[in-house]
Amino acid sequence: MISKFVQIGNKIEIESIKKTTGELGEVTRKTYRSELYDIESEDVIKIAMPMEQSKVVLLPVDAEYSLCFYTSNGLYQCLARVIERYKSNNLFVLSMELETDLQKYQRREYYRLNTVLDMKSKAIDETPDKNSLEQVHFIDTDLTFDNGTMVDISGGGARFISKVRYTEGSLIRFVFSLFVNGQVTEYKLIGKVLKSSPMENREDSFENRIQFVNMVNDDRESIIKYIFEEERKMRHRERGTF
């Protein structure tokens, strides 16, 4: 139950999941501060409309945001959609529908989705010591990739199972496809291996964790969009409304 994790009055950080372009052309994420006003049900909460320079920010109905709750037990994150705006007791209120369950959240980590997806990977001969990360890019000249299965993904990295054990700290080419915005999109990314270890009871398989490097913003935003869509589908299926 949401009331087990958050309480009325908890501070909330509201972050747009859509990119915006700043005055200098840079891609930014808009973030606002607010607090929890009421818990209407397990799926609907009410929060105070955020303020910016002493003015109320009217977040649009149907817009989707990432919420981070500051509680006595740490940070919790979920995705939510604005379903109504109104004024109550001289307070401007947003009614928001939770699109995902609350997850324990650590700052600078991306929301992670459990999945089962085919993917391919291949070690890069050069190591970060020989070639700085800023100079390493995906070069599609070798078709002899190793097959694997991705078991979770986020905007910052992934975890996958393969028959190959990669050297921790090394770089790999990482290829997979996602169904986003009604079409299949192929991603060709560079990943840094954070951990590679044998799986229990499967000596011929290895669990690999990677962090994406030199990733363009469009790819990251597209992956986050995919994660949001999949979480929303699962939540609707659980409710029997999908």
Query: pLDDT in tens for each of the 242 residues of the chain?
Result: 688 889 999 989 898 866 554 444 444 567 888 999 999 998 999 999 998 878 899 999 999 998 999 888 888 889 999 999 999 888 899 999 998 888 887 655 567 788 999 999 999 875 555 445 555 555 555 557 889 999 999 888 999 999 999 999 999 999 999 998 889 999 999 999 999 999 887 778 999 999 999 888 888 888 988 887 887 777 667 556 55
pTM: 0.60
What is the number of residues in the chain? 242
pLDDT, position 93: 95
In the chain, which segments carry CATH 2.30.110.10?
2-105
Q: Is 107 helix (H, G, I), strand (E, B) or coil?
A: coil
Question: For 113, how many CA atoms within 13 A lie in the half-sphere containing its CB?
Answer: 22
Phi-psi region of 25 (alpha: psi -120 to 50; beta: other; left: phi over 0): left
β-strand pairing of 113-123 with 171-180 = antiparallel
CATH of domain 2-105: 2.30.110.10
If we measure between CA atoms, which residue out of 13, 139, 7 comes closest to residue 68?
13
CA distance 107 to 92: 28
CATH class of the domain comprising 113-236:
mainly beta
In the chain, which segments carry CATH 2.40.10.220?
113-236
pLDDT, position 120: 93
Cα dihedral 76, 217, 15, 85 sign: negative
Q: Enumerate residues 6+ apart whose C-beta is below 8 A from 47.
A: 12, 14, 34, 35, 36, 37, 93, 94, 96
pLDDT, position 197: 92
Q: Enumerate residues 6+ apart whose C-beta is below 8 A from 115.
A: 150, 151, 152, 153, 230
Identity of residue 53: Q
Residue 236's φ and ψ, nearest 5 degrees, are -65, -35
| Residue in the structure block whose two tokens are 């011929």 | 204
pLDDT, position 75: 87
